[in-house]
Amino acid sequence: MIDIHCHILPGIDDGAKHMSETIGMAKKAVEEGIHTIIATPHHKNGKYENTKTDIIQMVREANAAIQGEGIPLKLLAGQETRIYGEYLEDYQKDELLPLAESQYVFIELPSGHVPRYTEQLLFDIQMKELVPIIVHPERNSELIERPDRLYQLVKKGALTQVTAGSLCGYFGKKIKSFSHQLIEANLTHFIASDAHNLKSRSFMMAEAIDLVDSKFGDDMVYLFTENAELLVNGRNVMKEIPERVKRKKFLGLF
């Protein structure tokens, strides 16, 4: 299994604090059946600045430490970048890092809203032959209340990645329900851990895959696991036709 979103690099954001914690996370990942992780530290989120060259160097160091412990896990370089207006300018300056040297890039939205320029920027990113992946849309309060906004972004070419812990209910019932709705409506294309540590934000990938299998079937498990592999290989991922989220009825009324 491949985990495309993880904060396993030590001491550079709110994930692993030091290399020993990185080693612990690596061991736990292998226990869950993960053999490859894209390390995706935060960038431009108001607190952390982790540029391409810094991340690549840290991935080299972390891989050496993991291999030194005999852990069968490989780290690849990536970046979780908060959306901002000068995104493409900084990409041209070679400061931004696609996932695993592919055409795919992570875009993080603020937790409480969707900036007005989002649709235009995602379009412009695609015009540069990049594929934007919106991370954890199920935890964005505006998208929960207005899921048609996400439908429009996906319809116009954006992909999304749901967090394993969201699917399993670790962020609350509302986010769990919305995560499931996104799968039902073909509005998400990847499941990833977004793991930060082993206590409050661990992997939950095996649990999430079991849940998807029981609730949505093995075809959906195949889509999510295969898409992670296709991404790492720089190939086009599988997509179903997106649908609008169906509002649940309450006492017979919408």
Is 129 inside a domain boundary?
A: yes
If we measure between CA atoms, which residue out of 186, 124, 111 comes closest to residue 155?
186
Domain tally, the chain: 1
Alpha-carbon dihedral of residues 215, 218, 223, 224, nearest 10 degrees?
A: 60
- Cα-flanking dihedrals φ and ψ of residue 166, to 5°? -65, -45
CA 183, CA 220: separation in Å to the nearest integer?
9
| Residues 150, 187 contacting (CB under 8 angstroms) | yes
pTM: 0.95
| Residues 22, 16 contacting (CB under 8 angstroms) | yes
pLDDT tens digits, one per residue of 176-186 = 999 999 999 99
List the beta strands (DSSP E) in 169-251. Answer: 190-192
What is the mean pLDDT of each successive set of 10 residues along the chain, which is 254 residues long? Answer: 98 96 98 98 91 96 98 98 96 95 97 96 98 98 97 98 97 96 98 96 96 97 98 97 78 44
Structural domain containing residue 48: 2-232
By CB atoms closer than 10 A (0-12, 13-18, 19+), residue 84 is middle
How many C-alpha atoms does 214 have within 13 Å on its Cβ side? 8
- Cα-flanking dihedrals φ and ψ of residue 95, to 5°? -95, -20
Is 42 inside a domain boundary?
A: yes
Q: Identify the bridge partners of residue 39 per DSSP, sorted by sequence position.
A: 6, 77
CA 166, CA 178: separation in Å to the nearest integer?
9
List, in order, residues 6 or more apart from 26 with CB less than 8 Å away.
8, 37, 66, 69, 71, 73
CATH number for the domain that contains residue 63: 3.20.20.140
Residue 247: DSSP 8-state: P
CA 157, CA 150: separation in Å to the nearest integer?
11
Is 242 inside a domain boundary?
A: no
Phi/psi class of residue 188: alpha, beta or left (left: φ > 0; alpha: ψ in -120 to 50)?
A: beta
| pLDDT value for 248 | 60
pLDDT tens digits, one per residue of 90-117 = 999 999 999 999 999 999 999 999 999 9
Is 57 inside a domain boundary?
A: yes
| pLDDT value for 201 | 92
| pLDDT value for 45 | 84
Is 249 inside a domain boundary?
A: no
| Residues 143, 179 contacting (CB under 8 angstroms) | no
Is 238 inside a domain boundary?
A: no
Is 6 inside a domain boundary?
A: yes
Is 196 inside a domain boundary?
A: yes
If we measure between CA atoms, which residue out of 139, 156, 178, 181 comes closest to residue 5?
139
